[in-house]
Amino acid sequence: MTTLKNDRFLRALLRESVDTTPIWMMRQAGRYLPEYRETRAKAGDFLSLCRNTEFACEVTLQPLRRYDLDAAILFSDILTVPDALGLGLYFETGEGPKFKKTIRTEQDIQNLPKINVNTDLDYVMNAVTAIRSALGGSVPLIGFSGSPWTLATYMIEGGSSKDYRFTKEMLYKTPELLHALLDHLADAVIDYLNAQIEAGAQAVQIFDSWGGALAHREYIDFSLNYMKKIVNGLTREKDGRRIPVILFTKGGGQWLDVMLDKGADAFGLDWTTRLDEARKLVNGRAALQGNLDPATLYGSNQTIEKAVKAMLDDAYANGEKTGYVANLGHGITQWVNPDMPKIFVDTVHEYSAKYL
């Protein structure tokens, strides 16, 4: 077992002492990096990039060569599970992911197969193992999945959606069908994340990208409770270390109080939530992650530094010494100048040390 040289990310998630605030960025391997675009061009298309072990490993490592990040995150996509269920994932230029088949009837749900993650998604596990080896213990590796609710919206709508028309119609007209689909997906995600952990992931994050589109009671019933099921089914220790679990619901900061008893170690926040108030509410019962507006990175050096320092002041306003991971409030965008994330990363490390 390789000794982990930098474990401050894992320590912060478990609310243990750290020397400086750890940081990583959602979507840190992506189109804003010219080296990523070059590798993607070699792969031919996005799915080929994900399915090629060498390329997936390469793009995972690229941001770590530029920035002093405290974690790597597996390069993959949240829609690998629906793709393995036979829905035919493809990408339209400028339109995002789409599926050739949709799930809208009871028969559609009954016809969904049970995934064997080690065969149907073996390329993901191959990537995890290769990335973990390539990291050589420099920083921990994060595995991830989409939440059942978020995966279901793509499967029902056939792609991205602004109003979730068909998903919400199912939710309010035939909720038992949606529950059946979500339960099927939760079982698949449990197997998927456990396989990533077995392959070498040292922490996992569940991306509930569209949970914020739900009303309060519906969020609990159709999103949060299924994430709780996943958390309860995960391997929580490997090689003598705890495997932290992060839940991230975009637009979900108002539900922190009901999230706290769901078994996760940490919760991601987007930029609409006050970090100081969130830390006060959580009161040391879990770690928090976030929550710089990704658009901040369009600004000047001075603007970025000011915003990052304000975020850190909020993170430590109540006297906490740990339990916080700096991150963006959502994924970094393709239009960011690749020089700017360095300002974000370096400011976090340099400024936060005074609090710790």
Among 77, 92, 78, residue whose Cα is nearest residue 47: 77
Catalytic site residue from 154, 192, 219, 316: 154
Q: Has 145 been labeled as part of a binding site?
A: no
| Contact (Cβ atoms closer than 8 angstroms) between residue 227 and residue 262 | yes
Distance from chain centroid for Cα 245: 10
Q: Has 130 been labeled as part of a binding site?
A: no
C-alpha to C-alpha distances, 339 to 162, 271, 292, nearest whole angstrom: 32, 22, 17
Catalytic site residue from 27, 66, 236, 241: 27
> Is residue 11 flagged as an active site residue?
no
> Is residue 285 flagged as an active site residue?
no
Q: Has 37 been labeled as part of a binding site?
A: no
Catalytic site residue from 11, 15, 40, 132: 40
Distance from chain centroid for Cα 147: 10
Q: Has 330 been labeled as part of a binding site?
A: yes
Cα separation, 153 vs 210, in Å, equals 8
Catalytic site residue from 70, 77, 191, 270: 77
Among 141, 146, 148, residue whose Cα is nearest residue 127: 141
Q: Has 316 been labeled as part of a binding site?
A: no
| Contact (Cβ atoms closer than 8 angstroms) between residue 311 and residue 5 | no
- DSSP H helices in 234-300: 256-259, 275-282
Cα separation, 260 vs 304, in Å, equals 31
47 φ/ψ angles, rounded to the nearest 5 degrees: -65, -35
Amino acid 135 reads: L
Q: Has 132 been labeled as part of a binding site?
A: no
Task: Map tokens 């995972």 to a residue.
Answer: 60
Q: Has 28 been labeled as part of a binding site?
A: yes
**Preceding peptide of 291 cis, ω within 30°:** yes
Write out the H or E segment, with its range, that includes residue 237. Answer: strand 237-238
| Contact (Cβ atoms closer than 8 angstroms) between residue 72 and residue 139 | yes
Among 25, 10, 13, residue whose Cα is nearest residue 293: 25
> Is residue 68 flagged as an active site residue?
no
Cα separation, 326 vs 188, in Å, equals 30
> Is residue 165 flagged as an active site residue?
no
Cα separation, 103 vs 181, in Å, equals 9
222 φ/ψ angles, rounded to the nearest 5 degrees: -105, -10
> Is residue 242 flagged as an active site residue?
no
Task: Map tokens 């710790």 to a residue.
Answer: 356
Binding residues for substrate: 27-31, 77, 154, 209, 330
List binding-site positions: 27-31, 77, 154, 209, 330
Positions marked active-site = 27, 31, 40, 77, 154
